[in-house]
Amino acid sequence: MPIVRLPGLIDPHVHLRDPGATHKEDFKSGTRAAIAGGFTLLLDMPNNPGDPTTSPAALARKKDAADGRLFCDVGLYYGATSDNTDTYNEVLHGVFGLKLYLDHTTGDLKIDRLETIREIMLAWPPHKPLCVHAEDRTLAMVLGLLPSVGRGVHICHVSQKVEIELIRDAKERGLPVTCEVAPHHLHLTEDDLPRLGGHGVMKPPLYRARDIDALWANIAVIDMIATDHAPHTLEEKMSDPAPFGVPGLETSLPLMLTAVHAGKLTLDRLVEMMYSAPAAIFRTPEQPDTFIVIDPTATRVIDSRALETKCGWTPFDGMEVRGSLVSVVLRGQEIVRNGKITSERGLGRAALPLA
């Protein structure tokens, strides 16, 4: 297949760790990883260890930390706590959505009380995305709340058979729900854990082959791909217990192109899941004269040593994949050539949602 030009990809779910845990990743290294992976816009999650984005002051600190250091455009999310609904009006126009944590993960933002969860869902304006970390029974609870709160939700990183089936059924019954899946949940199972050790520890965890099969069988139900890029240092991942999360910005496009090559989805569907759907659902601003050029069938081997992410490892090290990134052009300027970043200066900007 000849080389192909695609829109700059959008990743709606990353953890750049800045500010608060910049030994893991920061705005510069994380956005370099993004651009090297074909993403020209990403949306950063609020659960920064040490400095969660749950107040107007924390949001301002994050904007300051990003200023002048971005290699791709970055938009931000706000984090829900049990007592910050009164700050929503102040931050609303500066963020792409609210993130609500209903299960245990990195950080301390988990909310348990049903009454509080319902209050948050009612307080965040219905026209703004509400992203929810809700696994297993918690997902059923969130879907059950939809008729009461009269708003939509976006379900993050769906990973189990029963979850994608619940979402499929909810959509069929007309409930306002969208969802994303991370490439690691489409390519790894719990059988990979002995080999991966700490590098296979993530939240949601890896499940069985039947779960992967169900995700692929319901690929039409999945609105978008999100990397859930969640880096930790090599040393941290060797500790016991290892912290949750794996990097994904530089491996997601090749993994998905490998799936295209295997006939699991079309290239058009990949563009829908990695550009059109996140752009429409999160109302991202247009990036004029921005595109990527790929060679969809070129083969290469993923090499941890060649990564831009500060963490310097990936669970996919040594895997042969399809697809190489020939070029990335951001607002008319080429910033990646033959897979390598050509500029020392970042061309990225702080992104704001469309009104």
Residues that bind Zn ion (CB under 5 A): 228
**Which residue, 44 or 211, is less far from Zn ion as judged by CB?**
44
**Which residue, 44 or 228, is less far from Zn ion as judged by CB?**
228
CA distance 124 to 325: 39
Among 161, 124, 117, CA closest to 143: 117
**Which residue, 225 or 330, is less far from Zn ion as judged by CB?**
225
* Residue 175 neighbours by CB under 8 Å, 6+ apart: 143, 146, 147
Q: How many CB atoms lie within 10 A of CB 127?
A: 9
**Which residue, 84 or 227, is less far from Zn ion as judged by CB?**
227
CB of 105 to Zn ion, least distance (A): 7
**Which residue, 158 or 325, is less far from Zn ion as judged by CB?**
158
CB of 99 to Zn ion, least distance (A): 8
**Which residue, 106 or 324, is less far from Zn ion as judged by CB?**
106
**Which residue, 242 or 326, is less far from Zn ion as judged by CB?**
242
Hunting for tokens 């997601």 — which residue is that? 252
**Which residue, 228 or 308, is less far from Zn ion as judged by CB?**
228
CB of 15 to Zn ion, least distance (A): 6
Contact 74, 45 (CB under 8 A): no
The first and second tokens of residue 273, run together, are: 């899941």
163-173 b/e with 16+ CB inside 10 Å = b?
bbebbbebeee
Q: How many CB atoms lie within 10 A of CB 55?
A: 16
Give the residue at shortest CB distance from Zn ion: 228
Taken in order 77, 172, 261, 2, is the CA torsion positive or negative?
negative
Q: How many CB atoms lie within 10 A of CB 230?
A: 27
CB of 98 to Zn ion, least distance (A): 14
Q: Are strands 9-14 and 78-79 parallel, antiparallel or unpaired?
A: unpaired
CB of 79 to Zn ion, least distance (A): 12
Question: Amino acid identity, residue 93?
Answer: H
CB of 335 to Zn ion, least distance (A): 26
CB of 45 to Zn ion, least distance (A): 5
CB of 230 to Zn ion, least distance (A): 6
313-341 b/e with 16+ CB inside 10 Å = b?
bbbbeebebbbbbbbbbbeeeebbeebeb
82-107 b/e with 16+ CB inside 10 Å = b?
eebbebbeebeebbbbbbbbbbebbb
